Every structure is written in C-alpha cells, then in structure tokens.
Structure 1
Amino acid sequence: MNAEQLFIKTLRDCGALVGAGDDGVLLALAHLRSQPLDSRANSMKNTRFTQRFAHISHPHKCFVIAADGFCEHIHFKREWLSLEQIARKAMLVNISDIVAMNAKPMYALLSITLPTRSGFSLSQVRTLAQSLAQSAKAHGVRFIGGDTMSGRDLALHITMIGVLRGKPLLRKGLRVGDLVYCTGRVGGSLYALSHLLKGGVLADSRRFSRFIAPRLRGEFIHTIAPFAHVGLDVSDGVLSELHTLAKCNHLRFHGLKKSRIHAYKSGEEYEVLFAIDPRDKVRLARLARRARVELELVGRAGRVGKIPKPKTWH
C-alpha cells in the first residue's frame, strides 16, 4: 500500500469519505433534499452510492464534481511549457474528468499558488490569468470562486462542476465478456515526457500535442453513453485504469497486446477507456467513423486473465 492509498483508506475508515471512486462524484440535489440527514449518511456508505442517481432525468438536478491539481515539479516544469500551455492543460485535465462521465462542464473553483517571490512578474501573472480565462470560455466554464496564495512553486488546484447529460459512465458496471476500448492512440504523452527528461524541448507540433494539450472526447462519449457499461479517463495510463476496473468489478482481462504494453503505461493521455457488449461492436464502429474518433480494442473482460499492475506517475 502506497502513501496515497493509505491516506484515502484512512479517510474512509474514519467515516469521512463518501462517494469517491469515479472520475467525479455525482451529487443529486433532489435525492439529497428528500432524505433526512441520518438516512442520507447511511446511504452514502453504500458502495453503489453514485449509481443510485442514474435515474434522474433533469441534468441540472444532478451535478458531477471533480477536483485535480496541476503542480510545478510534480506535473510539469516551467521550462517545458509556456504559461499559456500550462493554463490550458490545467483546465483540460480537469474538464476531462467531467466529460468522461458524460457530463458538461459548467463552473470551476480555482485555488492557485503564484510564485511571486521568485521572480514571477506581474506580466506573467496577467498572462496566466488571461490564458485560464480563455480556456474556460472555450469550454463554456465560468470561475465562481477559489483562493490565491504566494509560494515557491506554481500550483493550480481546480474543482470542476458539471451537469449530467444523460446516463453517467461510472467505473462499476463491467460485465464478463465486455470488450474494452480506448479512444485515440495512447503512448504519445510518455514519448514526450521521455524526450523532455533527456533534455529535449517540445515544439508545438502534432508529435507532442498529446502532452501539450490533450484532446477531449466529450461529444463522442455522449453518443456512446447509452450503451457503454463503464468509462474513465486515462490519466495514469491504460494499465493503471484497467487495474482500477479489475478491482472495482472483481474481473480480469485477457487479449492485451504485448507490443502495446509500453504505450499502455503512458500517463496523462486523457483519452477515455470504456467497455461495451460485443453485440454493440458494429454500432460503436459506426459512431466512431461518424465522429472521426480512432478506437483501439484493448482487451476483453472475464473471470480469468490478468489484473494489470498499475504505474504511479505522481
């Protein structure tokens, strides 16, 4: 058990953690208002807590809330990316959690540490703020609050709030025989990171685009959500996400291509891993062609096979 797992387990054991486990948490206002506090607390202990809200038809009655950090020397180095690229990626990695669950991002809370005591100029502060605003507007997001601090390193912690667009895609729900797919062609982010760690620089080109600005698949996810069984964004690598699915659903995987294992370790891809019934394979292919989204068949879920070993990046 690593430090992150121990931290989360301790919160859960103390009874202070509820609803966590998916890319975001579903908060159904109508459901919460209809229950007394003690009943609500008991329902939240149920491992199927988030699935209780799938029946709510009006999207504004069900919010999806997710939070992520984007920190210097952990997720990026300032010599790797421009301030505009840092701001854009910080927004995209948070929006990715929302769209992967079939929701539309609406609002954001931003807590930011500005390294103003280490030569970070007012001009740079303005550039960062303008870039965050532009990225927010491009995706229909408005900032509604947060906090600003001064510190040694640049760090952005964003809480994103979205509204459900229909059936949510959760991590539980994988079935025996399901085909597991990944959007796009993962591996590019690890290639870019390896290039940077060797002293290279990133040109704003297609070769490094996945690391600089991940491409989100919100509209495609919305079209397949009615028949997809599970879904999650690939933030820690396909192998890590498969490990999560295996543990959540008590299943294993087979059919993984050995030639793709290295690419499946690539973190910060922000593609979407999802599963369907084999009978929906033709339907999926048709929708992918229409949306011009490349798909990769990763493997099949079953009672026998492997539970992939995760790789921790941060």
Structure 2
Amino acid sequence: MTEFGFIEHIRTSFATLPDNGFEGIGDDCAVLPAGTDAEGREEVLLFTADLLTEGVHFLRRATPARELGRKALAVNLSDIAAMGGRPVATLLSIALPRDAAGTWAEEFMAGYRELSERYATALVGGDTTRSESGITINVTAIGRAPAAHVKRRSTARPGDVVFAAGELGASGAGLRDILAGRLDTPLAAAHRNPEPQVAEGLWLGAREEVHAMMDLSDGLASDLGHILERSAAGAEIDLERIPVAAGSDLRTAACGGEDYRLLFTAAADAAEELAAAFRARFGRPVYPIGRITAGRELVWMRDGRPEPLDWHGFTHY
C-alpha cells in the first residue's frame, strides 16, 4: 500500500464517524470553526501534526540537536502558513534513547524554543518517553485564521497561474551533500534549517485572488499533484521557469523535498499585480511557473511543447 493509499484507507474507514465540526483529512491542516474575533469576523483554528524519525528524516551524526529542534517546529509552522494562518501553540512529543536524554535533549529544546519565540508560539503540552531504537519527534501545531482567509488545496481553477514563493532544490541538493559526508556546505545547512514562510502565508491568505495553496515538503512533482487531485484539475509547468536554487539542478528543484516554500495558484488577471505587490512587501519575487488546466494531468512543458518526464517527488513508502 502506498502512503496515499493508506491515507485514503483511513479516510474511508473513519468517514461514518461524526466530524464534530472539523474539516479534516485532505489539506495541510484540519480546520475547526472558532467563533468570531474582535472585529466580528468568523475565525477558525488550524491543527497539523508532523513526525520526524531518526534514520528516515534526519541523521543524528549530521544534524546538531539545536538545528533539529528548530526544524521539528519549522515544518509544522509551514503547514499553518500554507493554510493562511498564524501559529499560536504547539504540543511536542519525543521519544529519546538513553544517550540523547541529557545534553542532546537540552540543545534540542533550546532550538525549539528559539523558533517558538520568533513566532510567539506557546508550547502547551506533549509527552516524553524512552526509545530503544533512535529518536522520534512528533509536533502538533495549532494556528488561527479568519475563515475567509483559509486557503485549501481544492480551490485551484482552470486558468490560474501557478506560483512558487521562492527558489527550489536547495534542500534536496543539501541532502545529497549530507549523504556524501559534506556536512558543512551552505546547501547542507539549508536542508537542516528550513524557514517557514509564516508572514508570506498570512499575506497570501488575505489576498482574494489567491485560490489554492500548500507548502512544498515532498517536492513540486508530488505536491502539485495534491492540488490537482483535490481541485479535479490539471496543470502545465514550464520547466524553464522553475526557479532553481544556486548549487542545485532542475530535476532536484522539481522532485527534491523539504524546501518548504509556498506553492499557490492565483487568478490570471491579477497575477502580475500580485507578484509586484509581493515583491514590494517582502523584497523578493514569487515565480510564475505554469498554469492550471481543465485536464486531469500534470504536463511538463519545455519551450511551449510537452516533454514526457516520469518525475516524482519524495514518497514515504
């Protein structure tokens, strides 16, 4: 069973249970109505969880504990940002082997606190236990957003422009460096230290011309497919317009995971104005890389012509 086959099995198995007001499986976060804010706007709470396992998501010998603490939180804040929300709290559960229960754990928590402080995000609970086979970390993040600002994967429309909110491929190239023993390169540091685009997500969430959004965790080739599936749409992506990070390459930019840049679609007639406003606000560009189509396939284009490429992002199983 594939990862997404398993997720679909879970979704189907639990479909007859009451949802208790939650909008659940299918987006970066689960959504729960939360009344109105001081201005009378309907608000929602956003919930997401992410797991990091030693030997699968990180190598302890290659990742300082403080950096791993920041990363464990960053990947969850990225999910909140992808829905247009503001992070407010987290819960942390961690299983530690005996040799990581002292100084390593303290350094891990120092990194986790640094990023929590940067985004004014409270740590409100969790669990700790002993592990006999490596470190396992699970973070649940909670965010808030005006209901009208929440962006989903299911709302891309034919004709929308597809944007990436930053260069791609640095993390994938950094992972190659780490696996080759090159631990001190800028690309290896980029892999270990993702930056969640929290301010960008809040800003894009407030823009009506932005339709669908998610973050790039498993790679453009896989993650865009989630938007297409949920939106019952297709896409054409111009290979020459994919923003390749320095030191990476086109295939890594398209297929490598853990860039944690925002991927979003926006109305074509507002795309240029949106891109200019983003640059004015953040001092860097967003990159139009293609368009949503009425078909059901992802088509790679080169110089205006389809190019048959069997490209896929990271798969968990």
The TM-score bracket by the shorter chain reads 0.7 to 0.9
Question: What is the identity, as a one-letter code, of the residue corresponding to 1:303?
Answer: A
Q: Is 1:293 aligned with 2:294?
A: no
- The Cα RMSD (Å) is 2.2
**Residue 138 (structure 2) aligns with:** 157
Question: What is the identity, as a one-letter code, of the residue corresponding to 1:8?
Answer: I
Runs of 4+ in 1 over 6 A off after TM superposition: none
1:221, distance to aligned residue in structure 2 (A) = 2.6
Deviations 1:202-260 (A, max 9, x none): 34x4x444312122222223223222000000000011111111111121111421683
CA contact (8 A) 1:185 1:294 kept: no
CA contact (8 A) 1:267 1:313 kept: no
- Describe the SS at the equivalent of 1:229: strand
Given the superposition, is the C-alpha separation of residues 65 and 241 from structure 1 closer, same or farther in structure 2, using an over 3 Å criterion? Answer: same
Question: What is the identity, as a one-letter code, of the residue corresponding to 1:296?
Answer: Y
- Among 248, 254, 270, the alignment partner of 2:236 is 254
Consecutive unaligned residues in structure 2, runs of 5 or more = 243-249, 300-310
Alignment of 1:1-314 (within 5 A): 1-2=1-2, 4-15=3-14, 19-30=24-35, 57-59=41-43, 62-116=44-98, 119-151=99-131, 152-165=133-146, 166-203=148-185, 205=186, 207-225=187-205, 226=207, 227-257=209-239, 260-290=250-280, 291-304=282-295, 306-307=297-298, 310-314=312-316
Within 2, Cα distance between the matches of 1:130 and 1:304?
48
Percent sequence identity is: 26
Question: What is the identity, as a one-letter code, of the residue corresponding to 1:175?
Answer: R
Within 2, Cα distance between the matches of 1:154 and 1:12?
28
CA contact (8 A) 2:279 2:286 kept: no
Given the superposition, is the C-alpha separation of residues 125 and 6 from structure 1 closer, same or farther in structure 2, using an over 3 Å criterion? Answer: same
Within 2, Cα distance between the matches of 1:287 and 1:266?
28
- Describe the SS at the equivalent of 1:273: strand
Question: What is the identity, as a one-letter code, of the residue corresponding to 1:311?
Answer: G
Within 1, Cα distance between the matches of 2:176 and 2:28?
26
Higher strand share: 2
Question: What is the identity, as a one-letter code, of the residue corresponding to 1:301?
Answer: I
Given the superposition, is the C-alpha separation of residues 228 and 284 from structure 1 closer, same or farther in structure 2, using an over 3 Å criterion? Answer: same
Deviations 1:147-202 (A, max 9, x none): 10110211110000011145101101111111000011001111111112222213
Question: What is the identity, as a one-letter code, of the residue corresponding to 1:106?
Answer: V
Within 1, Cα distance between the matches of 2:313 and 2:109?
33
CA contact (8 A) 1:111 1:157 kept: yes
Deviations 1:51-77 (A, max 9, x none): xxxxx8243xx1000000112111100
Question: What is the identity, as a one-letter code, of the residue corresponding to 2:4?
Answer: Q
1:27, distance to aligned residue in structure 2 (A) = 0.6
Consecutive unaligned residues in structure 1, runs of 5 or more = 32-55
Bigger mean CA offset, 282-291 vs 218-227: 218-227
Question: What is the identity, as a one-letter code, of the residue corresponding to 1:223?
Answer: W
Count of matched residue positions in the alignment of Structure 1 and Structure 2: 283
